[in-house]
Amino acid sequence: MKNTALKVHPSDNVIVALRDFAVGEEVVFQDHHFQLPEAIPTKHKFAERDFAQGDIITMYGVTVGRALLPIPRGARITTTNLAHASNAYEVGKRQTDWNAPDISKFKDQTFQGYLRADGAVGTRNYWLVIPLVFCENRNIKVIREAMLESLGYATDRDFSVDMAGLIQQYQNGATADTILATEVIKTGSDIQRNRLFPNVDGIKFLTHEGGCGGIRQDSETLCRLLAGYITHPNVAGATVLSLGCQNAQIGLLESAIAEIKPTFDKPLFLLEQQASKSERDFIAQAVKKTFAGLMEANKITRQPAGLHHLSLGLECGGSDGFSGISANPALGYTSDLLVALKAKTILSEFPELNGVEQEMINRCLTAESAEKFAHIMATYAQRAEEVGSGFDMNPSPGNIKDGLITDAMKSAGAAKKGGTSPVVGVLDYTEQISDPGLYLLCTPGNDVESTTGLAGSGANLIVFTTGLGTPTGNPIAPTVKMSSNTALANRMADLIDINAGTVISGEDTIESKGEELLELLIKVASGEVLTKAERLGQDDFIPWKRGVSL
């Protein structure tokens, strides 16, 4: 018989509904009978016992809230009867023993990657065209229009919008009702273009709103982020457009590149508009240099590489009440497999580690990493409160609607993406991964700011778990979407790459789904499979601006 309810951890005092329960329905769970005083939607929780006002609610074995008023046994846990609460934490004795998973299935496997001169291996071979300041965004778009289509870099989207048909109908006198009833999506009409440079997977044109104004630290951080992209193993080289007078000077970018890669030797073209003859000449030089760079990048071909060259970013967004039960733990198992294979994984979104700080501290290999993590978390929380917010305000309306009532509840499930392995390092935003193992990277909970940071710190692949659905991708790191529930996988099949809802239905275990995900990642890393986000051209890039504007 299929389970209809679940208690995630033996010490929990709430139970998760795996299907909708009607008011008055009797639920039998582990030989206990619950007469539900109200309807409990799928993914939401109900009380295992009577709670008095002020009682602590636990889930995933940690504190996730405090009862705002008495909650009877079987009642639904909601924002009206539960307030955010989390455990205190301190840096003390750590426990870094770890039972690594069985990797015999993967230890001799390889992927087809791009070997770089510095020993890194890319899963893609991209050329970047990026601005140092927002003033250059228009020029970036002009170059993009000139080069992308003509060189064969259209998206692999399997449909197109028939604007010509709409225009024709309008010219023929069609009414608005006729227009609204017209089928405008044409499937299979966007044919894969023949690429002039078949070994170059794409030209990525980034734009942003930074580089000047704000405070100088914002521009310094931006330069470090862009340096992380330019030196990234998935990038063959870059064309950088500078205005000239902005805070984000070329020299800052060059210094950041030298700090990350002292032996940096990729093709890099730095152009300054205020030193050019004219805008026409400036754009012409950028196009010609980019074309010459593509000629060099095209000489690189895929070669076999060990799985220890993979660097996986661990991300979640549009989370639901199943995310911490299916998709996130499955991704956590994949992370553990990769760590055991001597690869690197990166867990981000520090606001979504609120309430599980002690677990992360205890897993840090060094006291220095534990102290750094505790300091960053405390500082982040303080600054959020100083602007009238706080970690407790992190859950979105979509999170709450689908069962994630408090930030601690959301965080306890989100942390499952990091598996169980020790933490080898703690990174502030734009810092780079180095040795094998699991890293904690400070980013905000904003999905795109976080994925932007993951790639900037060295992730050559990203897995993005979601319960509600999101199109998010990254310009340089292929982003695999994993759904927490089967309904989402069916409804948004054009966005979802792999479905962890089979864990909820009992068709898969956390371990089997984690292994399936790693097998998919190997194919993605080899270029055998394009992610849905890649096919849709979903190149989301938002640098994190931490300072005020001046």
What is the Cα–Cα distance from 226 to 221, expressed in whole angstroms?
Answer: 9
Token pair listed for 272? 């300054």
Token pair listed for 259? 């700090």
Is pLDDT at 344 greater than 90 in this prediction? yes
The band of 548, judged by pLDDT with boundaries at 50, 70 and 90, is low
Tell me: the pLDDT tens digits for 495-523?
A: 999 999 999 999 999 999 999 999 999 99
- What confidence score (pLDDT) does residue 186 get? 75
Is 388 or 310 the better-scoring residue by pLDDT?
Answer: 310
- Residue owning tokens 């604007």: 163
Q: What is the mean pLDDT of residues 207-234?
A: 95
What is the Cα–Cα distance from 84 to 68, expressed in whole angstroms?
Answer: 10
What is the Cα–Cα distance from 400 to 510, expressed in whole angstroms?
Answer: 24
- What confidence score (pLDDT) does residue 547 get? 66
- Residue owning tokens 């951080």: 221
Is pLDDT at 95 greater than 90 in this prediction? no
Over the range 464-496, which residues count as b (16 or more CB within 10 Å of their CB) and which as e? bbbbbbbbbbbbbbbbbbbbbbbebbeebeebb
Length of the chain (residues)? 550
The total of other beta-carbon atoms located within 10 Å of residue 133's CB is 24
Residues 6+ apart with CB under 8 A from 390: 381, 384
CATH of 113-156+193-302 among 3.40.50, 2.30.29, 1.10.3470, 3.30.420 = 3.40.50
Is pLDDT at 241 greater than 70 in this prediction? yes
- What confidence score (pLDDT) does residue 90 get? 93
Percentage of the chain exceeding pLDDT 90: 85
- Look at 213-222, 250-259, 325-334, 525-534 and tell me which has the smallest mean pLDDT: 213-222
What is the Cα–Cα distance from 421 to 413, expressed in whole angstroms?
Answer: 16
The band of 162, judged by pLDDT with boundaries at 50, 70 and 90, is confident
- What confidence score (pLDDT) does residue 319 get? 94
What is the Cα–Cα distance from 69 to 48, expressed in whole angstroms?
Answer: 16
The band of 1, judged by pLDDT with boundaries at 50, 70 and 90, is very low
- What confidence score (pLDDT) does residue 190 get? 42
> Taking Cα atoms as reference points, which of 408, 416, 509, 534 lies closest to residue 467?
416
Rounded to the nearest 10 degrees, how much is the dihedral formed by the CA atoms of 224, 230, 231, 237? -160
Question: In Å, how far from its chain's centre is CA 157?
Answer: 21
Q: HSE on the CB side for 545, CA within 13 Å?
A: 15
* Partners of residue 40 on adjacent β-strands: 21
Q: What is the mean pLDDT of residues 135-143?
A: 97
Give domain limits for the chain: 5-83, 113-156+193-302, 158-187, 316-535
Question: In Å, how far from its chain's centre is CA 189?
Answer: 31
Q: What is the mean pLDDT of residues 170-179?
A: 90
- CA dihedral sign, ordered 485, 491, 496, 502: positive
DSSP 318-371: S--TTTTTTHHHHHHHHHHHHHHTT-EEEE--GGGGTT-HHHHHHHBSSHHHHH
* 477 neighbors 462 (Cβ within 8 angstroms): yes
- What confidence score (pLDDT) does residue 310 get? 98
Quote the mean pLDDT of the chain.
94
Is pLDDT at 384 greater than 80 in this prediction? yes
What is the Cα–Cα distance from 308 to 337, expressed in whole angstroms?
Answer: 11
Q: What is the mean pLDDT of residues 207-214?
A: 93
> Taking Cα atoms as reference points, which of 417, 425, 432 lies closest to residue 233?
432
Token pair listed for 419? 């598996």
- What confidence score (pLDDT) does residue 93 get? 85
Tell me: the pLDDT tens digits for 36-92?
A: 999 999 999 999 999 999 999 999 999 999 999 999 999 999 999 999 999 999 998
Is pLDDT at 550 greater than 60 in this prediction? no
Shared fold status for 5-83 and 113-156+193-302: no
User: For the sheet containing 268-272, what is the strand order?
Assistant: 202-205, 126-131, 235-242, 268-272
Q: What's the predicted TM-score (pTM) here?
A: 0.94
- What confidence score (pLDDT) does residue 155 get? 66
The helix/strand/coil state of 431 is coil
- What confidence score (pLDDT) does residue 191 get? 40
- What confidence score (pLDDT) does residue 163 get? 85
Token pair listed for 354? 């609120």
* 466 neighbors 533 (Cβ within 8 angstroms): no
Token pair listed for 16? 């998760």
Is pLDDT at 232 greater than 90 in this prediction? yes
Task: Give whole-number Cα distances, 480 to 217, 367, 484, in Å.
Answer: 32, 34, 13
- What confidence score (pLDDT) does residue 322 get? 96
What is the Cα–Cα distance from 98 to 89, expressed in whole angstroms?
Answer: 21
- In this structure, what are the phi and psi dihedrals at residue 256, rounded to the nearest 5 degrees? -65, -40
Is pLDDT at 138 greater than 90 in this prediction? yes
Residues 6+ apart with CB under 8 A from 181: none
- In this structure, what are the phi and psi dihedrals at residue 128, rounded to the nearest 5 degrees? -105, 140
CATH of 5-83 among 3.40.50.720, 3.90.1310.10, 2.30.130.110, 3.40.50.1220 = 2.30.130.110
